Amino acid sequence: MVQLYIMGGIYFVLGIFHFTHTGFYRPLMPKFLPAHDSLIYWSGIAEIVLGLGVLFPITRNNALLGIIVMLVVFLIVHVNMLLPENRLGMSLWILMLRIPIQFVLMYWAYSNLTNPLF
One digit per residue, the tens of pLDDT, for the chain of length 118 reads: 899 999 999 999 999 999 999 999 998 899 999 999 999 999 999 999 999 999 999 999 999 999 999 999 999 999 999 988 888 888 999 999 999 999 999 999 999 998 776 6
* Residue 56 identity (one-letter amino acid): F
pTM tops 0.75: yes
Residue 33, sorted as left (phi over 0), alpha (psi -120 to 50) or beta, turns out to be: beta
Angle at 105 between CA 101 and CA 35, to 5 degrees: 85
Helix axes 92-111 and 57-80, enclosed angle (nearest 10):
160
CB-based contact 54:100 (threshold 8 Å): no
